[in-house]
Amino acid sequence: MPDWLTHIGLAHFVVVSVLLFVIGLVGVLTSRSVVRVLLLVELMFSAVNLNFLAFNNYLHPTGILLGHVFSIFILTVSAAEVSVGLAIIIALYRARATADMEDYNLLKW
C-alpha cells in the first residue's frame, strides 16, 4: 500500500476541500438554473468549512477549537443565507416567470 493511502494527513483534507470548491465554482459558473447555483454555493461553503477543520486539527492537535467555532458560525450564516436566497429566487421567479440565469439581466447596461 502506498504511503499516501495509509497515512491520512492534512494534504488529503486539503485536496478534498479543493475538489469540492472547484466543483462548486465550476457548477456556479456553468449552471443555468438559479436553484442549482444556490446549491453549489453551499458546496463551496462546505469546502471552506472542511479547510477550517483540517487546519485547526493540524495546527492545534489538542484542545483549541477555533476552526470548529468558525465552521459552525459559517453553517449558521449559510442557513440564513439560503433561506433569504430562496426567498429572492421565488420573488424573481414570480417577477420574470423563469429560473434561468441567462434571463436575469436587469443589470445589463
Partner 1 sequence: MHWFSDVNNLWVVPFYPLAAFILIVLGRAFTNGKDLFANKGFCAFLTIFATVLGLLHTVFSALPWMFHQGSQAVIEHNITWLQAGDFKLSLGYLVDSMSVMMLFVVTFISLFIQVYTHGYMKHDDGYAKFFSYLALFNFSMLGLVLSTNLFQIYIFWELVGVSSYLLIGFWFKKPSAAAACVKAFLMNRVGDFGFLFGILGFLYFTWNALPGHENVMTWTSYLAQHPDHALLSFHALPAMVQTFATQLSGQPVLITIIAILLFMGPMAKSAQLPLHTWLPDAMEGPTPISALIHAATMVAAGIYLVGRAYPIFQLSHDAMMFIAVIGTATAVVAASIALTQYDIKKALAYSTMSQLGFMMAAMGVGAFSAGLFHLFTHAFFKAMLFLCSGSVIHACEDNQDMRLMGGLGRKLPITHATYLIGCFAISGLLWTSGFWSKDMILAMAKEAPGFEFVYWSLAITAGVTSFYMFRTYFMTFWGKYRGEGHVHHEDSWMTLPLVVLALPSAFIGLLLAGLAEFPIPNLPSFFQFIHFGQAHAEHHTFVEAAFSGVGLLSTIFGVSGLALAFLFYVVAPSIPDAIRKAPIASSLFALFSRKWYFDDLYQGFVDKVYLAFARGSSTFDKEGVDGLVNLTGRAAMGTGSGLRQLQSGKLQTYVAVMFFGVITLTLFLFYCLMS
Grid cell for residue 97:
416567470
Nearer to partner 1 by Cβ, of 3 and 102: the residue is 102
Site string for partner 1, 67-96 (x = CB under 8 A): ------------------------------
Dist CA 85 CA 43 (whole Å): 15
55 belongs to the binding site for partner 1 (CB under 8 A): no
Nearer to partner 1 by Cβ, of 13 and 27: the residue is 27
Could you say which residues in the range 21-50 bind partner 1, by CB under 8 A? 25, 28-30, 37
Nearer to partner 1 by Cβ, of 37 and 54: the residue is 37
Dist CA 13 CA 51 (whole Å): 7
Rounded (10°) CA dihedral 84, 107, 43, 63: -70
Rounded (10°) CA dihedral 20, 5, 61, 16: 0
Nearer to partner 1 by Cβ, of 97 and 107: the residue is 107
101 belongs to the binding site for partner 1 (CB under 8 A): yes
